[in-house]
Structure 1
Amino acid sequence: MRGRNFLICGLTGWCMEILFTSAGSLARHDGRLIGQTSLWMFPIYGMAACIGPVYAKIKKLPALLRGSIYTVGIFSFEYLTGSLLRRHHFCPWDYSSARANVNGLIRLDYAPLWLGAGLLFERILVHTDRLT
């Protein structure tokens, strides 16, 4: 189950990132809608499978609070993995030019997006676990 959830979250994250970067392309008036990601992002998104066990402990909390908890976890993991990848010159993102960045590794203005992503992963994982 855990391996399957890891794969589902990794693939979902890749798709979300490609759609998000394609939307950025559209915002720049680039009709080619080119989206991109990195192979490094698959295991990072795959770790969203951890949301399943967290959800089991907090499922009675309101969605906004659960999403906020996921956002803190996502920011923490993004900062940690970004730091490790940057140390080896492999980090595929650099938010240094953004206003609300923390050491170029996370963007605080992305909090609503991560809140939504966390709740989306939660729904996917709850649905996946019911099927087995």
Structure 2
Amino acid sequence: MNKNKKNFLICGLTGWCLEILYTSLWSGINHDGRLIGHTSIWMFPIYGTAALIVPVYHKIKRWPAIFRGGVYSLGILSGEFLSGSLLKKFHACPWDYSDARYNIGGVIRLDYMPLWMIAGLIFERILCRRKH
């Protein structure tokens, strides 16, 4: 399997796991002791596109983590906006942020930027770890 396909699969699976963990913790915060997490099959290819972090990382690897995270966050928000808008046209978007204060089109939340920064840096760590 070539490196790009492998990275896509790793990102898809990692994204699914992070989303299930996040939604499980959120259900706990909402006093649901079952800690049920969830995701959608649509999220796998969306998270898989995080593999695009690799070429970006090679251009910005000397930048401080906060700036790299900011770049990743903007890229993730852009991808979320594009994919969410497309899925919404087919009534297939698995998320709806319309009720959130800082939403754009119901498909992105600007207050999630710090979470996407962290997610981007996690993907970077997984995909671009140094070979020893």
**Common topology (TM > 0.5):** yes
Structure 1 runs not aligned, ≥5 long: none
Q: Percent identity?
A: 64
1:105 is aligned to 107
Q: Give the alignment of 1:1-132 within 5 angstroms.
A: 1-127=3-129, 130=131
Distance 2:71 2:118 in 1: 11
Q: CA deviation at 1:130?
A: 3.5
Count, aligned residues: 130
Distance 1:108 1:34 in 2: 25
Residues 50-69 of structure 1: per-residue CA shift (max 9 Å, x gap): 00110001101111000000
Large movers: runs of 4+ above 6 Å: none
Give TM-score, length-normalised by structure 1. 0.96
Distance 1:11 1:119 in 2: 16
Amino acid at match of 1:73: G
Distance 1:57 1:29 in 2: 44
Amino acid at match of 2:21: L
Amino acid at match of 2:117: L
Distance 2:89 2:105 in 1: 13
Distance 2:110 2:10 in 1: 26
CA RMSD of aligned residues (A): 1.1
